[in-house]
Every structure is written in structure tokens, then in C-alpha cells.
Structure 1
Amino acid sequence: MAEVRIKGVSQRICVCMTPESSRALLDCRYIQTDIAFKRVKGYLEFELTVMDDKNPTSRITRILSRVFVTEESAEMHALIFGKISELVKIDTGEELKWRHLHAKTLDDFPGICLVSVDQHRGQAKGLGMHLQSVAKSLPTTPDLHEGHITIQELTDYDHLKRVLRLCTIHLSRNIEKTGTTKAIKAKMRSLVCSVNPKWDETVAEIRAEGGTKANNWVTDKEDSKFAFPAMCWEKSFIPKAIWDLGERTTNISESGHADTNREGTGCSLVGGYLRALRLDVLKEKTVEVGLMFGVNPAYERKTEEARTVRMLKRKSDTQLRICASEDRSIVDANKKLDASAGKVKRARLMHDTNGTVSSNSAYAAALKKYDLAVENSVQLTGTGSGNVHLQIPVMHEYGDHSSNTSFENV
């Protein structure tokens, strides 16, 4: 435990890491980092998580470093990464390496190649600040990606363009919550990609057609200075092979959160530390036993192939549920449209027969409800499984709501 002053305010930091974790981190190419909020009262828990795949038949999630802190600013995150690097040096005698700083060529992948995160600005900027300090400790070297400058001249956000990737699940969830149309949301999702030939055009369309919320989304990504390169490979300087092999999500980190929370939440600092230590040592021994004796932690094979099959099955199940829900919406819309058309027919008959004020009002109200039903049906175009057809009214006979309204299925 140490007390530090950040922006004139006293803060606390407690770094927890075993020598075995330090050795494991030296061999890692892909890491994920995140903050947990409910483990220890009065503290936030920074977790550096990896997928240990030394045993290809029994991959296991491991948290290699836990850091308890009292704030999550960029300065605190820079300190966190610095302390982790110091412990690795003490435990192993070797420096923690980063691909874009220590590689000799673009095809050389030493050290950490990719860091997967959510879009926490303090965490991202803190990592960039730490990488700046690492670069300054190295001999003057031309940057591999922009040869006209040295690694010492890279800004904090320049470093992030070479190592950072955002979780696609967090991005998709936030896009879905944005108050704009489905068409604009689809354009927003198209920016989470490897390559988008119409990038500038798509961003302009989102701004022009998406309304205030969509504009705020674009502004947030631009103001962060790291989000767009961390969403789209062609905007970054991460090698394509690294981007393709790296995790698209922070599910590994979330899995680490879940494992730790099973040991208890709302703990004291000492209690949280001891429970986490017990879990981390258990996982270290699990990996060791698996490698030495071939004893896996579960009967289910945890290979990359098995994980991919499970992922595809979950995606398929999710899509089926979505289609089923959309089919039900189409059935409801068809029923409402039929009912509205029937009311228009009856109201028009009364209007043509009586011509009274009340019949005129009833006819106008029926037309209004019918127009709303049509609008709701049109919004469902392109949804559903295709097994249920959406009814859309054809052109009316008199340029008006005719008494013999007909429909076509789409």
C-alpha cells in the first residue's frame, strides 16, 4: 500500500502481483484491462486479464495483476502501468516489452501487441502516458510506422493508435442505446470494422441525418482522440495479423470479473486481497497441473475451436430470438392495420351516407389511426425471419383512403 499525490490530492494504490504472474505477463501478446467497482469497499480494482493458452486443450482466464486504487484518472492509470512494469522487472530481471517500441521490423512481434479495453478515457490516456515514459527510457529509434519521427516524439494518443482496441460489445450496446433511427445505427455499426471505403461519407451521413444524439456520438469518438483508430483497423497502426488474431471483445476481462466476484464482494481491503490471492494461486496451480499431468480443470474441452463453436451457437440463438420477436411485431402490426382499415371502411360508409358532423369527425379520426398504423408497419420493413409477411397497403383507388383498401405482402 502506498499513498501518492495526484493533482494535489492524496490517493492510495495497492499493487498485487505474484512472481509467476510477472513471468506469465512477459510471454503475453494480448491483454485486457478494466476496473471493477464492487469488490472492495472504498476502492476500485484495476484488473489486467489474459487468456492463458499454454495448454491448448484447456485455456483458462487469468488475472495477472490486481491494483486497488481510490480513483481512476489518467494519472492514476499511468502510475498503475508503471508499477506493474516495475514489479515485472523486479520478479524476472527483464523489462516488459511493447511491440511498437521494441520490435526491429513490422513483422517482429515482441512483447504486448494489443490491449483490449472499453472506452474509458482515463484508462486509455493513462496507458498512452505510460508508453511515452517507456519510449523516453529507450535509445532514440525511428518509429516503425511513421519513419520520419522517433518513438520519443510520439504523443500519448500516437502510442494508442499502435496498441489499443475497443470492445465491439460495448460499442454495439452504446450504439443501440443511441436515440436515432435503425438506418443511422447501422451506419454507426459499419464504422466498427477492419476497412470502410466510405468512412468519411458515412460519418457525414450520420451527422447530417442522425439528429442530436447521433451527432453527440460522433463528437464523443472524435474528441476522445483514440476511439476511431481503436474501432477500425485501417485508422490504426496495428498490424493486420495482430488485429485479426486479437479478441474483438473484452469478454476475457468480464470473465475474470465474474470469477473474482464469486469469491465475495463488498470486502475489506485485506479480505479482498486474500480472497483474490487464493483464486490467482489456484489458477496458477491449475495451469501447472494441466501442463505436467494433462489434468484439465473441466471435462469440457476449452480449445479455440470449441470456443468458436459456442460463440457461433450463441450468436445463432440470439438472432433466432430477435427474428421471433420481430415476427411477433409484424403479426401485431398486420392485425392493427386490418382493424384500422375496417374502421376506415365503416366510417367512410357512414360519412357517405349521413354526411353529419359526427360522422365526418369519426371518419377523420379513423383516417388518422389508419395513417399511424401504416407508418408503424412501414417501419418494420426489412425485419423478421421472412416466414411472416408484412402487409403494406397498395395505392388507393381515388388517391384517398378507399373503402376497398387492399394490401400486398412484403
Structure 2
Amino acid sequence: MSLTCSQLEALEKVQQILDSAGLSPISVTSSVVSLPSSHQNTPDVDSTLDTISTPPYPRYQSPAPYYFTTEEISQRANYVNRATKVSAIVDHPVHAILEYPITAPGSIAHCFVVDPISFVQPQSAFQYSLGGGHGGRENAVCLLLRDDAGKGVRCRQLKSSCNGLKAGYSDDSAEAEVFNKTLAFFCAVSEQGCGFDANLDLSPEIVLDSFDLHSESESRGCGAPLMLSVNNLGRPYIHCKNFNASVYRARTHLVLRNLDEFNTDYLRALIENDLKAISFHETRAKNDGYGPLMPCTFVASPAEQKQCCPYWHRNHEGKLARGTLHSWPVPCKAKFDIYTPYNLTACPQVLVICTNNHSHPPPAPVKTPEAIKAIFYELLLTLSWKLADATPRRILLDSAFIQALQAHLSWKETRNPTLSDLHPSLGNSDHARRLINTLRFNEFPSGTGFAGAIHLATKHDLLPIDERYIRCAESHQLSTKSASNPPAATTSTLISSLRLVICMTKQMSWRLMQAKRLSIDTSFKRVHGWQEFEFESWDVAHMKSVIGARAFTTSQSAQAHFILFQQIFEIASADTGCAVQFQYMHGEGIQTIIADGHKGQGLGLGMYCVYLCKDSIQACRYDTTALLRDLDPYDHLRRFYRLCLAHYKRNIRSLRGQIPKDVEIAMLTITSAEPHPDLQGTLKKIKKGGKKAAAWLKDKIEGTKFVLLALYQPNSLIPLEIWKASPTTTNGNEQAHRNINRDGVGLTLLGGIMRGFHYDTNISASLDLFDAFGINSSDRLSTHAYRAKRALARQVRYTRSSPSEGNTSFACVHLTPPPVEPQPELIPNSSLMTGSTGGAIPVSTFSTLTYALTAGAHVMDHRARSPSFSAAPPTVCAVHHHIYPTRDQLSTFSTLQGAVE
């Protein structure tokens, strides 16, 4: 009969599989028909293919063998060929997964019905390790497989044998546990030795990376023997012979002090090689049924490819060593003859003849049958792009994967299924991870790292502008040259490269260009080996924190940030048709940018502003005596850059115990929007506050030069109203990082990009919903009042939980200072603003409401210039509950709630 086009395509696919398996090709255009098998127990092939669409594993049980009768034997119905015959035959349906075929002293034939479209060799599911092949034969005629004329079909015969097992003990008593831990600890320490490298420079200024504990390099290790000594408290410890606590270089040699969980008598005997004591401990252990003198009972299948026993034993020389795995003592005599027809469409059956019983126990099911692999891969494909970050643990946390697994297994139990319920071999996480990696490589041929991001960016370039997300995936070479105008840099030395991926939609570009007060921050957790940078701002119209741009970088240098800002704003300008604008340059646009004070990030931002103004002839709108093109990066930062107070105070708190308390308070008083009563005196106090404090001040003045300008408004050129309108922390960025980190951390680059894409598009959809229907993402709008109330509630909880922390984390300055005088320059080559209060007592020397509401802060409700105070009660409005102070007085309230009641 003639074949349809689809059947011919299927046959060609089968032909390719046969060719790859080394089988001879046949003409796919010849007319073929499907014929029943010659023996009576063969099932109907077509009906079986239609009724069984998935493998019946794990419920499949091999049927009992059919033993040929005397009459059938007399008719030679059990003959495979003229020289080979069998005593019984077992029929298996299509997709049958047989891992332990029945064997007998004689020969048993297993006849497998196969699917010619997706052909898999049945023996690939055998858990027995087949090898030691004895050749085979082409064009072998198998009489148990017959064609339509009743003649035996021509097959390729493969002869193989069972490789058997590889063989090389347990007690759960407390004595056995301590003994085994001690022995294992000694073996590990002896094998690793001292990790000291005599070739390394161990000067105090050098910071060493962690040693590679698995390295076999001869340079790792001094080769000196290990010793067990006792300290002055009588506590034992192990150390390298070259260890000396009084010599700096010798202090880096191995020393292990916590030995409480080991048998120190046995450990001392092992280290000192006291044969008599060793024999005493190990003989006693052997009598109790454990220890290195016991015969090993570890068994492994050859398919596991293990060479050594995981346990340590005493060899014939009396030395401790890991046992070597050898073949099973009794050679396995089981043989396998496999007959595969050349034309599987005409005869979709494979015959496997098993001869002789196995001489060893069945091996563990460590191999995953091909049919089970196909099911596992099909389930993994339900993860879609999440496959980029799939691990054996993560897939079990994915609801779509679990639902598909439950459907396949017809799961009825209350617990969720695990991979071992699909097949026991998948219970090995390392094995399952290898299978996942195989599929991941097939699905992402460019990988899930930078090359994969470049491939995905190329695809996004072909999409309409409204659908693009990955806008840039490129690499740049960085040099040692650090100039205020990088494009004008001349000769430089190449030291590193920058890989950069920028992700932003057109909507994000509009949000970035319309923002006036931006926040920038970098996270290091979400994508392994990459830093994630974000532009964040507060959308007043939607009362929501929004992301303007997301980028992944591999460098934190100033050059890298210059390139980053340049690329982001160029993309945003191309999307919106608007040029980037700053308030001090153009009279509108970005007013402030707040960051955590990273030097490379701040300097890179200043370098970008220099790049923007390189051809400008305009004067600064904040200082008309200065031309924009003449400003250096620090001058530009002085006009819009602010520092996160939370990071600033956290860094100061990290110095506690290393600086005096009054110096810590002095450091905190620098952050203010109002003139400081004695800034020079405060700086002198910090400088004299010890080595750490002096180094801190030097870094702020000479190292990270923009820090003090970004903390103290009188020395900044940012107008006071714009300064106060700016957020004081990068908490918006921190919350944005926290929100997206809930989707996973330690991801691959491709997985991080895709999760970011869905997160950012969901935020955009929420904003569009609010614009269209007025539906907010939560019941409450994040108004100024709501956010202030939440901030105060958090501060109250913090103060109550640690009152000393809450009251000392902010500075307290007595309000009896001399008249404020103009402050000198803090940064070389920079003119700082000065101011005067005309001798009046300042209203407040603090710029944060939080301090004013701290218990014991004693903030003056100043009304007149007179420094006198009065205890007269204030006048309270009965309608609005407003407090009108009658005279100068001290505030008695520590919370906003108390202040308005």
C-alpha cells in the first residue's frame, strides 16, 4: 500500500535514528505493511499504539513468561535461528519500561512492541550494566519476528553480557558515631594537610581570596606534619608543625581548635602514628561491628562509574586508604542477544533474549530510562523561560510543574509528588540537575549568561518599540585613565572590561524622563556574578514608587557608571523624543539624585554631566558666575547630588567601639539643611577622635569629595526648597530591590532579565489600570500623611525596642551657640556657600523630623529671638487641636501623635 506524506516524513525520522544507531538504511518509499507476530501472544500493534499514549511506568509489571509446550517445541516454534532457541517468551506492550528483565537458567525471550515514530531501544531501560560485548551480526534472521509472508525478518543482532556489580557496614550507637567521625576527620585533615602557600605575599596590606580547598597544586600546602597539642587551659588542638602564633607569617599555618566532638585519644594515636593505641581502638571497634578493619559491604553499579569506595579501610600494609572498587567476585554469566529489525514499520518489535541467571543482587535503579527522561523533559518545558534557573529544588516549588507532575502520575495523595515518584533515579539531585542542564542547553543554545542576553536583545530589536525590554547588551573595555571628559582620554592601559545589559520599556523611559527627584542604587544578590542597578522615583500622580531603568553590570568603576548613565539616557531620549534635562542646567528637569555614596557611582554621574555640558556656553542657573562647561564632576554633583542618610548613619554605627561617643555624635551633626553652629569645631573634634575617626574625615574631604557637600545643604548649591523636597534615603530603591528579590536570588542573567521583565510589565499594567479606572493596587493611597504616619510608627517601635539606640542614634546639640559665621571650604578648588543668621539663635540645627520626635531631643518651639524659656502651657485650638506656643518652650512630645492631641 502507498504511504502518505506524513508517514513518509515519520519514516525518514525513524531512518535517521536507525542510521545514528549504526543500522543499515532501507528505502522509505517502498510499500510496507504491518504484520502480526508469529507467536500467539503478540498484541495488536495498531490498537496498542492508540490506547497507550504514555508509558505505563511505574505501574507496569512484567507479565509471567509463556513457556512453550512440547508440541510447539516439536514444531521448532521456540527457535530464534538454527542454533538458538528459547524456553519461554514474554510479551511487553508499546512504551513498556522494563528495568529488570526476567532471566532463567535457560533462555527467555522478551518481545517488545515499539513505536517506530519515536523509537527507543528497550535495553536502554535495563538497570543492569551491559558491556563486554561479544560482537554481533548484520542481516541475522530472527524466526520469532516474522513478516507478512510468515518468514523471519532480517535484523541487526547485538550480543552483550552483564558487567555485574562493583563491590568494595553500619552501627548507629553513640560510640560508633564518635569513632567514625574521628576517623573521617583525621582522614580529611591528613589528605588536605596545611593549606599554607609559601609563595604568597602575606603582608598585612594584602587581602587574600579564599583558598581553593579542592586544588591539588603542589604550591598549596607547606608539607609539614600535623601535631596535636594542648593549650594552657588543657584543651587539645591540631596545628601544623610550622604554626607559631607570635610570628605573623607562621600564624597563617593550619590550626584547628574545636575538637570536642572527637575521641581525642584515638585522634592523638592517629596523628602520632601510635600503632599500639591505634590497634586497641580499631580492634575494639571491629569487635563491635564497625571500623576500618571490618570487611566492606559497599556495592555500586558499573553505571555509576565509581572507582573508589567512599569509606576508609586498612589495606594489606596496615595503612588507611579509600578502598578500590573491583568487579563482583563471581563473574556474571547472564547474556543478552538483541534483535532489532531493519524495518520497524513492517515489524515494530524488538526481541531481547536473556540467557542465564545473574550471579549478583539487582543493582539500584540509578539509570533513568529514556522514556522517563522524555516525560521529565516534557514536564520541564512547562516552565518556559523559568527553565533558565531551574534546579531540582526550584522546580518542586513551581506550581505549574507540580500540577503537570500530578496529572501525569494521577496523584491522589495529600502530599505533593517528588521527582523520585516519577522514577527513583531522579531522587539523586545531582543526576536530576545534569538532566536539567542537558535540556537547558538544548533550549538555550546561547546559554543563560551574557551570550544568551545578547541573543535575546537581538530578538527584541526586531520587536515594535512598545514591546522592547532588553535595549542594550554589550561589552566595553575600561582603562586606567580617569578623566572628567572620558571621550577626550588619550593613551591608557587596559585593565578590565565592562559587560552591560540595560532593560527598560518605553513606559519606563517616560517615567525616567518625567521624574524630578531620582534615586539610584545597586543590588548584588539577584543575579549571580552581576550587579543590578536601578533608577527609582516617586510617582506623585499614582502615589507609587516606580522604576525608570534597570541594568546589569559587571563593574562599579566611575568609567563603567559613566557608560551606564550615557546609555540609559540615550535610550530614554530615543524612546520619548525628549533630551535629558537638569534643573541647574536647563531650568527644568531633574532636580536631585540621591544615592548611597558609592565613589564610582557618584563620580561616574558627575562625569556624565561633564559630557552633557562639554559644548555648552550657558551659565549655571544656581551660580551665574560659573559656566557649565568649566565645571568638573564634583562641581556638577554639588548642584543636584544628595547622600542617603540611612547609609551614612549605618556606616557611622559600624565604627562604634572604635571611636568615642562624642565623636560619633559629631559625625551625625554634619547632616543638616540648616547652618551648623560650629562646623569647624565639629570637624576638629572628629579629626582628634582617634585613628579611625581621622581616616573617616580624610576620606570624606579628600577621597569621596562629594560626601560632605551632599550631606550639608549650606555648603551645597542645591536650593533649600529643592533640598527639602528630595527624599533623604534610598529606601525606595531598597524596597524595589526587596520586592523583586522575592521572585528569586542567585539567578542566571537570563532568568533575572525575564523575571525583571514580568515584574516591570506588571507594575506598568497596575499604573495603566489606575489611569483607566482609578483602581489602586491597594486599599490605601500612599499619601504624604499615610507615609509619614507609617514612618513615625516604625520609629516609635524602634525606639521602644531599643531606647538607648533610638535616643543616641541622633545628635543632641545645645542651643546656646555663638553667632553662625561663614564656613570655609571643605573641598579643594570648590567655593562653598556661606550664610549668617545675624546673631539669632537658630530655630533648629536638625533637618529631619525624626530627630525632632525623638524622646529627650529637647527641640525648641522657637517663636521669638529671646532665649528665655517659659513653662506656661500652650494654647490649644479645640477644633483643629493645633498647638500655639505662647512663649519659647521645650517640646514635651516624642511622637507626632502626641504633638497633635
> Do these two structures clear the TM 0.5 threshold for a shared fold by scoring above it?
yes
Contact 2:799–2:805 under 8 Å retained in 1: no
CA distance in 2, matches of 1:236, 1:175: 22
CA distance in 2, matches of 1:98, 1:326: 37
Contact 2:798–2:806 under 8 Å retained in 1: no
Where does residue 86 of structure 1 map in the other structure?
A: 570
Report Cα offsets for 1:116-153 as digits up to 9, x if no partner: 1011000000000000001114x301122332321000
CA distance in 1, matches of 2:806, 2:723: 34
Number of residue pairs aligned between Structure 1 and Structure 2:
319
Contact 1:50–1:64 under 8 Å retained in 2: yes
* 1:78–1:296 Cα change, 3 Å: same
1:125 match: secondary structure: helix
Matches within 5 A, 1:254-403: 254-323=734-803
Report Cα offsets for 1:242-285 as digits up to 9, x if no partner: 11111011100101110110121111111111110111111111
CA distance in 1, matches of 2:701, 2:763: 40
Relative CO higher for 1 or 2, CA cutoff 8 Å, sep ≥ 6? Answer: 1
Q: Does 1:3 align with 2:475?
A: yes
How far has the Cα of 1:325 moved from its partner?
Answer: 8.1
Bigger shift: residues 41-50 or 69-78: 41-50
Q: Does 1:188 align with 2:677?
A: no
How far has the Cα of 1:204 moved from its partner?
Answer: 0.9
* 1:325–1:44 Cα change, 3 Å: closer
How far has the Cα of 1:11 moved from its partner?
Answer: 2.2
Q: Does 1:212 align with 2:691?
A: yes
Where does residue 125 of structure 1 map in the other structure?
A: 603
Bigger shift: residues 46-55 or 91-100: 46-55
How far has the Cα of 1:60 moved from its partner?
Answer: 1.8
CA distance in 2, matches of 1:207, 1:246: 30
Q: Does 1:169 align with 2:641?
A: no
Q: Does 1:152 align with 2:629?
A: yes
How far has the Cα of 1:197 moved from its partner?
Answer: 2.9
CA distance in 2, matches of 1:326, 1:282: 38
Equivalent position amino acid for 1:132 in 2: V
Q: Does 1:142 align with 2:626?
A: no
Aligned pair partner of 2:720 in 240, 243, 246? 240
CA distance in 1, matches of 2:804, 2:729: 26
CA distance in 1, matches of 2:696, 2:475: 37
Where does residue 546 of structure 2 map in the other structure?
A: 62
Where does residue 378 of structure 1 map in the other structure?
A: none
Q: Does 1:77 align with 2:561?
A: yes
Aligned pair partner of 2:518 in 20, 25, 31? 31
How far has the Cα of 1:10 moved from its partner?
Answer: 2.7
In the alignment, structure 2 segments of 5+ residues that lack a partner are 1-472, 480-493, 808-853, 857-901
Q: Does 1:114 align with 2:592?
A: yes
Where does residue 217 of structure 2 map in the other structure?
A: none
TM-score (norm 1): 0.75
Report Cα offsets for 1:303-344 as digits up to 9, x if no partner: 1110001101111221222227899xxxxxxxxxxxxxxxxx
2:547 match: secondary structure: strand
What's the Cα RMSD here? 1.8
1:136 match: secondary structure: coil
**Larger helix percent:** 1
Equivalent position amino acid for 2:727 in 1: E
Contact 2:799–2:806 under 8 Å retained in 1: no
Where does residue 13 of structure 1 map in the other structure?
A: 500
CA distance in 1, matches of 2:709, 2:516: 19
CA distance in 1, matches of 2:650, 2:749: 32
Where does residue 388 of structure 2 map in the other structure?
A: none
CA distance in 1, matches of 2:633, 2:805: 45
Greater than 4 Å deviation, 4+ residue runs: 324-327
2:613 match: secondary structure: helix
CA distance in 2, matches of 1:247, 1:258: 19
How far has the Cα of 1:39 moved from its partner?
Answer: 1.3
Equivalent position amino acid for 2:687 in 1: R
Contact 2:518–2:535 under 8 Å retained in 1: yes
CA distance in 1, matches of 2:805, 2:761: 45
* 1:68–1:317 Cα change, 3 Å: same
CA distance in 2, matches of 1:156, 1:288: 38
* 1:326–1:147 Cα change, 3 Å: closer
How far has the Cα of 1:228 moved from its partner?
Answer: 0.3
2:533 match: secondary structure: strand
Aligned pair partner of 2:711 in 221, 231, 234? 231
Equivalent position amino acid for 2:551 in 1: V
Report Cα offsets for 1:364-402 as digits up to 9, x if no partner: xxxxxxxxxxxxxxxxxxxx989xxxxxxxxxxxxxxxx
2:771 match: secondary structure: helix
Report Cα offsets for 1:88-114 as digits up to 9, x if no partner: 1110111011111111xxxxxx11111
* 1:54–1:176 Cα change, 3 Å: same
* 1:212–1:20 Cα change, 3 Å: same
In the alignment, structure 1 segments of 5+ residues that lack a partner are 104-109, 328-383, 387-410
Report Cα offsets for 1:214-266 as digits up to 9, x if no partner: 11111111121100000111111111111111101110010111011012111
Contact 1:184–1:206 under 8 Å retained in 2: yes
